Chains A and B, each alone.
Chain A
Amino acid sequence: MSTTVNDPGRTGASPRTSRQRLTAAEPYLYLAPGIAIVALVMLVPLVVGVSFSFQNYVIFRPAARGWSGLENYAELWSDRTFWLALANTAKWTFWSVLFQISLGLGLALILEKPFPGRAIFQSLVFLPWAVPTFLSGLNWQWLFNPIVSPLPGMLSAIGMLDEPRNILSDPDLALYGPITAMIWWGVPFFAITLLAALRSVPSDLYEAAAIDGATGWEAFRHITVPFLLPMMTITILLRTVWVANSPELIFVMTGGGPANTSQTLPNYVFTSAYSSMNFGYASALASVLMVLLVFYSIFLLWIRGRLGQ
């Protein structure tokens, strides 16, 4: 019955051209509204934002506003604070993500095995993620303050500090204060995602490995790690971009000080934009950060593609 209607041998002869073109265009027609909305809320602001970086745009000098070519980028090239902030951003992101992922993986491995009280422990582990970053920044600021907190005393007792003092006011150590807070705050994210990935590993693979002669460590190396890698690259990618982009903890805890020694790019963008009111320069800084992160993401996705083969 239905063969007479849909038989290509019968209908395919004449209306090939226009009708087929319409069929090919059909999916794009349905996608068009979505693409339009995305373009409107993502692409347009992005282009406008990047265009600021080629302008002389200081809020309280409206008369001087106008296209300035690469002036902002030239200024940035000779700006010592920019290079310091760039190095600090790398340091801040690297240490934060490194410790977040190692501690997160450790927690995920612990939480994967059943033990009494696991449910309670699990919710406690995930708690920091629920704390607003500003609040945790304030908390950690106090924790590093030797007058109200025992932490500096403890650090000096175990020999990590020469005396109980505030590391946030030490130019050499200030950045490690927000890094510590960032690690504490971001571990749950890795613990949650890696725990989910761990649970997706079929248990009979471990059994097969145990029979094949693998010890616990060998099973971890040959089964768990290969299974986790795709998930790990994606979470590392996401976290790196988020951590590199987030100024809150540094803003709250050190404000980039003392003397810009804990300045990172996003915080520098923020202070340039809202303290110096220099939107053009802030936009140039942000564009550089964005380009670096795009290259980083491409690199990581390329690695991921290679791992998947």
Chain B
Amino acid sequence: MAEVSLKGVVKRFGPVQAVHDFTLDIAHEEFVVFVGPSGCGKSTTLRMIAGLEDISGGEIRIGDRVVNDLPPRARDISMVFQNYALYPHMTVRDNQGFGLKIAGSPKSEIAEKVGRAAKLLGIESFLTRKPAALSGGQRQRVAMGRAIVRDPAVFLFDEPLSNLDAKLRGQMRTEIRKLHEKVRTTVIYVTHDQVEAMTLADRIVVMRDGRIEQVGTPDEVYHLPASDFVAGFIGSPPMNLLDARTVRDGDGLAVEIPGGPRLPLDPEACRGIEPGRDVRLGLRPEAIAPERIASEMRRPFSFTADITLVEPLGGEALIFLEIGGTEVTARVFRPNTRLSPEKDVPFVVDLGELNLFDPESGRRLCGTRRMPTQ
């Protein structure tokens, strides 16, 4: 069993604090992805778990041991690096078996484990080659093989796919997911790519400026972002964010976009919000669509807007429209009519997908979205 638990972990580089009070419990066999923009402290946190960086405060546990002061080799982990970090003077076989050789395992055992890992990753045919003779994708496989061979309690991945081209990245992403199904271990995976995070993770940890912004399943992070930062970071294209104001609307409450429509709020979900308050309104692009091609919505609300630009992407199209002077992106799937810029187009927005954020702190105020039932 290898839970990983971080309690109030802090990292300072001189006067600069890179990681603030990081607290997280990771379950056995869970796949957790740290995601965030560069410099958000995700890699530093991973390196502290690996033991490659000292921690300036707090406590890290792997399994039932506090590993704060243990060297990396005593932590029962293995790591896959962004630049693969394969030993260039060793063959693929020796690269994979290095850890076992150092540990003094018998030759037969090393050969067996290397063979098994190679088979799992489909790299048997180049075990005798040196890393320089391999392509980027093959090197990444070898690096993963080296990590598997040691049979660790926790796998750490540090942006393993960012040196690959887009197509290969997609393939490897799928393979990592499959690999996790076969080799059930706790995985901590760092990336700046929100697509990787969404597709791989059991739970996503969104980080910003050395702090945890939100921890949640991909669905929670996507549909119920804890802040406007998460809303803007996760999703491609990101969530539309508009400055707006709450107003009284008959018995209930509405949110008014200056120069744009007034959208009634669900009184149940947004209880406790007073009228006359500045808010940031968040709307996913797929919650907006031209009325004539809109798919079914839970709480449709009609308004008109001007289409300024259309980007057809084959299976889907991005429509840029103006609401109250702000450009907003809408995404429609399988549009069967050709769309073009035009004025005063009837649109619908799904009021069941509204998110309100505090404009000062960026924290979520309310949202009407309910989590999809499993």
Chain A residues within 8 Å of B, Cβ to Cβ:
202, 204-205, 207-215, 218, 222-223, 226-227
Contact = CB atoms under 8 A, between A and B. Distances in A.
B72 A210 contact: yes
Given A207-B52, A218-B102, A227-B89, A212 B150 contact: yes
A213 B50 contact: no
B346 to A, nearest CB: 50
A-B CB proximity, top 3 nearest? A212-B99, A208-B85, A213-B73
Contact of B72 (A211, A223, A227): A211
B77 interface: yes
Nearest to A225: B89
A214 B102 CA distance: 6
Q: How large is the interface on B (under 10, 10 to 19, 20 to 34, 35 or more residues)?
A: 20 to 34
A208 B102 contact: no
Contacts of A210: 51-52, 71-73
A226 B89 contact: yes
B85 A222 contact: no
Contacts of B313: none
B83 to A, nearest CB: 6
Of B52, B103, B146, which is in contact with the most chain A CB atoms at under 10 Å from its CB? Answer: B52
Contact of B102 (A213, A226, A227): A213
20 contacts: A202-B85, A204-B81, A207-B50, A208-B79, A208-B86, A209-B98, A210-B72, A210-B73, A211-B73, A211-B79, A211-B99, A212-B78, A212-B99, A212-B146, A212-B150, A213-B102, A214-B73, A215-B73, A222-B102, A227-B89
B85 A213 contact: no
Contacts, number: 59
B303 interface: no
Nearest to A216: B71
A204 B81 CA distance: 8
B87 interface: yes
A211 B77 contact: yes
Contact of A212 (B52, B73, B83): B73
A226 B94 CA distance: 14
Contacts of B99: 211-213
A82 B71 CA distance: 58
A226 B95 CA distance: 14
Contacts of B78: 211-212
B87 A205 contact: yes
Interface string B130-172: 0000000000000000100010000000000000000000000
A213 B198 CA distance: 32
Nearest to A205: B85
Contacts of A222: 87, 98, 102
B87 A213 contact: no
A213 B77 CA distance: 10
A222 B102 CA distance: 10
Contacts of A213: 73, 99, 102-103, 150
Contacts of B50: 207, 211
Interface string B224-237: 00000000000000
Nearest to B158: A204
Nearest to A226: B89
B89 A212 contact: no
A209 B72 CA distance: 9
Contacts of B79: 207-208, 211
A209 B150 CA distance: 12
Given A207-B50, A211-B50, A226-B87, 15 more contacts: A207-B72, A207-B85, A208-B86, A210-B52, A210-B73, A211-B72, A211-B73, A211-B99, A212-B78, A212-B102, A212-B150, A213-B99, A213-B103, A218-B102, A222-B87
Contacts of A202: 83, 85
A207 B73 contact: no
A204 B83 contact: yes
Contacts of B81: 204, 207-208
Interface string B26-52: 000000000000000000000000111
Contact of B98 (A212, A215, A227): A212
A227 B89 CA distance: 8
A226 B98 CA distance: 14
Most chain B beta-carbon neighbours within 10 Å: one of A204, A207, A212, A218: A212
A214 to B, nearest CB: 5
A212 B52 CA distance: 12
Contacts of A226: 87, 89
A213 B50 CA distance: 12
Contacts of A209: 87, 98
Contacts of B102: 212-214, 218, 222
Contacts of B87: 205, 208-209, 222-223, 226
Contacts of A205: 85, 87
B137 to A, nearest CB: 19
